């Protein structure tokens, strides 16, 4: 059971938008720690998608955006494309575990 | 460009040992902390261990503390993970990742391609 909770799957049609939630607690996201997001395409290593809640590394399209409110965070993807089909993970720091923690991952299916 | 290349994975019996390596290039290795993160087959990501840029601070997940040892050789730009007393639940792809930002804000900026560890008799 992951410390950060994500929906197992989401789906959307090409061109549409989806949102992936990441729910934590007062010892991680709710404590004010940054939330980061990773994209893992099938058979490949994870790749940094969003860091410090809202920032995108160079090369990441602005169709991807992050937000945070209280003990939860969200990843929004607009204008879905077939190549967005992947697993998405949120990550933060937990002060009760003194460790970095991930969500369980969300599989995005582009219909 | 940043490159991280893991090696050393393989098949090991329960109770056995294995040492993973991660060769780094394209950045000042001795200025960055480094992580190991693993992913069991069909499962999500699990942080394993972190080492500070100078090797003086190390942190471990509860699941591996006392069995795994993270280390680095800054003269060789190489990160290591010594895994002892291996269990079936340690079977996973192990990734090394370059740390960015301070502890509480840290994230995994670049990842290697991973090396597969199989624990089986």
Report mean pLDDT in 10-residue bins for chain A, 111 residues: 95 96 97 96 96 91 95 97 97 95 97 91
Best residue in A30, A53, A99 for a mutation probing chain B (most B CBs within 10 Å) = A99
Give how far Cα B31 sits from Cα of A65, A100, B8, B55, Å.
29, 20, 24, 11
Can you give the pLDDT at residue B104?
80
A23, A48, A52, A92, B42 from A55: Cα distances, Å: 19, 10, 6, 15, 29
For B15-39, how does the pLDDT look when each residue is reduced to its tens digit (9 = 90+)? 999 999 999 999 999 999 999 999 9
Length, in residues, of chain B:
121
Q: Do A91 and B45 touch (CB under 8 A)?
A: yes
The CA distances from residue A49 to A59, A75, A93, in Å, are 9, 10, 17
Q: How many helices (H) and strands (E) does chain B have?
A: 0, 11
Per CB-CB distance under 8 Å, the chain B contacts of A4 are: none
Helix (H, G, I), strand (E, B) or coil at A71: coil
Contact partners, residue A6, CB within 8 Å, separation at least 6: A20, A21, A22, A23, A88, A89, A90, A103, A104, A105, A106
Place of tokens 């060769």: B23
pLDDT score at B101:
87
| Residue from the list A34, A46, A57 with its beta carbon closest to the beta carbon of B45 | A46
Largest CA distance in chain B: 41
How do the pLDDT tens digits run along chain B, 121 residues long?
999 999 999 999 999 999 999 999 999 999 999 999 999 999 999 999 999 999 999 999 999 999 999 999 999 999 999 999 999 999 999 999 999 988 788 999 999 999 999 999 8
User: Any chain A CB within 8 A of the CB of B102?
Assistant: no
Instruction: Please answer yes or no on whether A102 and B112 come within 8 Å at the CB atom.
Output: no
> Which residues lie below 8 Å from residue B7, measured CB to CB, with a gap of 6+?
B20, B21, B22, B23, B115
A 46-85: CB under 8 A from B: 46-48, 51-52, 57
Find residues 3-42 of chain B whose CB sits inside 8 Å of chain A: 35, 37
Judge contact between B98 and A49, C-beta under 8 A.
no
């Amino acid at each position: 059971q992951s410390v950060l909770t994500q929906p197992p799957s989401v789906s959307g049609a090409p061109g549409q938008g989806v949102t992936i939630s990441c729910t934590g607690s007062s010892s991680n996201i709710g404590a004010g720690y940054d939330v980061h997001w990773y994209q893992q395409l099938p058979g490949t290593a994870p790749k940094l998608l969003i860091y410090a809640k809202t920032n995108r590394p160079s090369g990441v399209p602005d169709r991807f955006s992050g937000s945070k409110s209280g003990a939860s965070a969200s990843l929004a993807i607009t204008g879905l494309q077939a190549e967005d089909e992947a697993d998405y993970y949120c990550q933060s720091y937990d002060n009760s575990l003194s460790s970095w923690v991930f969500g369980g991952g969300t599989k995005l299916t582009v219909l | 460009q940043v490159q991280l290349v893991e090696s050393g994975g393989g098949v090991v019996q329960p109770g056995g040992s294995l040492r993973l390596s991660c060769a780094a290039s394209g950045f000042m290795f001795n200025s960055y902390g480094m992580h190991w993160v693993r992913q069991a087959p069909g499962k999500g990501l699990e942080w394993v261990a972190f080492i500070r840029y100078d090797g003086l601070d190390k942190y471990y997940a509860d699941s591996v503390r006392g069995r795994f040892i993270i280390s680095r050789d800054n003269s060789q730009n190489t990160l290591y993970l010594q895994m002892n007393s291996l269990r079936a639940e340690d079977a996973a792809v192990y990734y090394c990742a370059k740390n960015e930002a301070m502890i509480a804000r840290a994230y995994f900026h670049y990842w290697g391609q991973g090396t597969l560890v199989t624990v089986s008799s």
